[in-house]
Structure 1
Amino acid sequence: MVLRMAWRNIWRNKMRSLVIMFSIATGLLAGIAVLSLYDAMMNSRVRTVIDSEVAHIQLHHTNFKKDYDPKYVIANGDDVLQAIKKMPQVKAATARSITTGMLATATGSAGVTINGIIPEEEYKVSQLKQKLTAGKLFDENKKSQVMIGKKLAVKMKLKPGSKLVLTFTDTSGAIVSAAFRVAAIYESANAPLDERNVYVRMNELNELLLSNASFHEIAVLLSKDETLKTVQQNMQQLFPSVLVESWKDISPETDLMVDTVDQYSYIIMIIIMLALAFGIINTMLMAILERTREIGMMMALGTNRSKLFILVLCETLLLTLAGTPIGVLMGWLLTAYFHTKGLDLSGWGKEMMSNFGFGTMIYPEFPAERLPAVLLIVTATALVSCLFPAVKALKLQPVEALRR
């Protein structure tokens, strides 16, 4: 009986009801858009960290990361690397020799991290090959080649073919300098990393470091993100004398950013819901005022106040249920479009985005896992918003209402 009356009352003023439905649908669309946008940005950042920066897991000598002393190499590194490559969860793994030093040119100098890599293996782990913007890959017939980041190249006025000098200390503590020629310039989504990381062949760097065939780091890329914790624990058990870290350990700021933005997205959504709430309150109050005489007649005929309260509640609930599918459909269509075409955020400032490690092109996905929470927030907002109009109706006195 109450539901039938509520449904009839909704369509007595079609325009007002459609406005509320549209408001609810728009609020839901905005909530889905906010969640999908922030999720896409965070997923993009996490993928950059994993696929381009640190990989899923890194292994080092337990003392190496304290001051990056080149004497702290991974013991039996080749055996460890081969054992890791045989793990079924591992997609790719590579070894790196790492040291810190100075890069000098005729125009100045800058502090850099020198990464000695095995080119073909490195390309599979860090996508270095795909990042090239100028020059060519390492040539097997040419020695002393180096790859540098675009930001560093601009700062030091370098281009492919330019000559530079790298200076660092070897494993004995002696200062070593060697001349290199720029083979290529790369650009990633993280400009600060581009500015301080240079890449040379591992065998050439090892000769200068006097570390022979040893290396300082093993970077591991997994086939599935979900296996990260299990694989990390297994590796730590297999290699107890080695420090095994996941990308969350190496880049805790990224993990913290993901959690913070997740909370922030819900705060933005609550602000959107507050705007929606004022719209619903205003419209429902208009409905109550227009039906003041009718409500007074119902009360005079014996309708108790609890039924009136439930009636207003049911009207709002039905309007919410009618507007929700429209909002979900609109949100799905919007995210599907941008997931296919991509959303270009370069208008926010490419350099600014790059400084924070974000790419300018993101691909939003429909937040299906978080949709129940969104629907709950929208429904709660609609129901809470109707409380004030419902209480307003309950305060009406039958005699005064019939006189209006």
Structure 2
Amino acid sequence: LCGVFRTTNTGYDQATAFVNADELVKLYGGNRILTHEIAILLHDTDESAMVRDKLSRIAGDNSVSTWRELAPDAALLNDFMIVYYFIFIGIIMLALAFGIINTMLMAVLERTRELGMLMAIGMNRRRIFGMIMLETVFLTFVGAAAGIFCGWLITGILGKTGIYLAGWAEGFEAIGYASRVYPVVTIDFILFTALMVTATAVLSSVWPARKALKLNPAEALRTE
């Protein structure tokens, strides 16, 4: 026994031992064992099944399995995290929508006299509607840009130091996940977030804009 090793997967640690290949050949006899397993890392895990089917046709008697088949517990956790991610994003977008609606309704109420004056001097309802929409989208873009920058900066720092999940360390290690995670922000995630925020802002600004269109110019001008 030369030493012990420890990975993030306790099940792997309990069932794995590293030995010298020459000693293993002597123990079991026969020719030298060259390869017993080949692992292929894909850029897109969604292509795992397709790649498995292609390799199975040329693998002969050798078996080909995807990571989901080899680690169903990890696959289940991954699916759960994806569902949780979309639920979390939905809650954030809902809170954002309520915040935008509340802010822009207050802006319309505070500018009732100004909007009435614009209508009185000839600004049509389409321009009033567009003005409210553009103001909402502009404010959202500024906030989104600041949020994305701060998130990118914090993620860059945590991506180097890692986040230690002490409370879930044993559970994660039991299924092969490290107790220290290193977050990463991709361009796809940033674009998806920006698209979701923009769509939420546009939809949320419709109600305040319609509220402004219902103003009566004469009554609005008398508003203090």
TM bin, normalised by shorter chain, reads 0.7 to 0.9
- Post-superposition Cα deviations, 1:285-339, rounded to whole Å, max 9, x if no partner, equal 1111111111112222232222211110011112123223222211211111111
Assess, with a 3 A threshold, how the Cα gap between structure 1 residues 199 and 295 changes in structure 2: closer, same or farther.
same
Matching residue of 1:74: none
Q: Which residue of 2 aligns with 1:218?
A: 36
- Larger RCO, structures 1/2 (Cα 8 Å, 6+ apart): 2
Matching of residues 72-83 of structure 1 within 5 Å:
none
Query: Aligned with 2:36: secondary structure?
Result: strand
Which residue of structure 1 aligns with residue 144 of structure 2? 324
Distance 2:222 2:134 in 1: 27
Partner residue in 1 for 2:62: 242
Q: Which has the larger radius of gyration?
A: 1
Match of 1:374 in 2: 193
Aligned to 1:266: 86
Please give the residue correspondences for 1:187-226 in structure 2 after superposition, counting only pairs within 5 Å.
Answer: 187-195=6-14, 197=15, 199=17, 212-213=29-30, 218-222=36-40, 224-226=41-43
- Tell me which of 93, 98, 105 is aligned to 1:285: 105
Structure 1 letter corresponding to 2:8: A
Select the residue among 119, 126, 130 that pairs with 1:310: 130
- Would you say the 8 A contact 2:172–2:178 is kept in 1? yes
**Residues 267/318 of structure 1: CA separation in 2 closer, same or farther (3 Å cut):** same
C-alpha deviation, 1:194, in angstroms: 3.9
Distance change (3 Å), C-alpha of 1:297 and 1:238 = closer
Is the 8 Å Cα contact of residues 74 and 175 (structure 2) preserved in structure 1? no
Structure 1, gaps ≥5 residues long: 1-134, 138-183
Q: CA–CA distance in 2 between the matches of 1:247 and 1:297?
A: 66
- CA deviation after TM superposition for structure 1 residue 199, in Å: 3.2
After superposition, the C-alpha distances for 1:54-78 in whole angstroms (9 at most, x for unaligned) are xxxxxxxxxxxxxxxxxxxxxxxxx
CA 380–232 in structure 1, closer or farther in 2 if over 3 Å, else same: closer
- SS of alignment partner, residue 272 of structure 1: helix
The 1:206–1:251 alpha-carbon spacing in structure 2 relative to 1, beyond 3 Å, is farther
1:403–1:136 Cα change, 3 Å: same
Identity among equivalent pairs (%): 35
Q: In 2, distance between residues paired with 1:338 and 1:281?
A: 34
Instruction: Report SS of the residue matched to 1:349.
Output: helix
Equivalences for 1:5-404 in 2 at 5 Å?
136-137=2-3, 184=4, 186-195=5-14, 197=15, 199=17, 212-213=29-30, 218-222=36-40, 224-226=41-43, 232=52, 235-346=55-166, 348-404=167-223
Deviation at 1:271, TM superposition (A): 0.7
Counterparts in 2 of 1:383 and 1:298: CA distance versus 1, 3 Å: same
Cα 1:397–1:204 change in 2 (3 A) is same
**For residues 143-181 of structure 1, what are the alpha-carbon distances to aligned partners after superposition, in whole Å with 9 as ceiling and x for unaligned?**
xxxxxxxxxxxxxxxxxxxxxxxxxxxxxxxxxxxxxxx
Equivalent-residue separation in structure 1 for 2:215 and 2:103 (angstroms): 18
CA RMSD of aligned residues (A): 3.1
The separation in 1 between residues aligned to 2:8 and 2:194, in whole angstroms, is 35
The 3-state SS of whatever aligns with 1:303 is: coil
| Cα distance change of structure 1 residues 374 and 226 upon mapping to structure 2, 3 Å threshold | closer
Match of 1:57 in 2: none
Specify the code of the residue in structure 1 equivalent to 2:139.
Answer: L
What SS class does the counterpart of residue 243 from structure 1 fall into? coil
Q: Distance in 2 between matches of 1:401 and 1:385?
A: 23
Unmatched segments (≥5 aa) in structure 2: none
Q: CA separation in 1, counterparts of 2:152 and 2:79?
A: 24
| Aligned amino acid, residue 328 of structure 1 | I
Cα shift readout 1:183-238 (whole Å, capped 9, x = no counterpart): x4x4322234445x25375867996xxx75488x922134x534996875665344
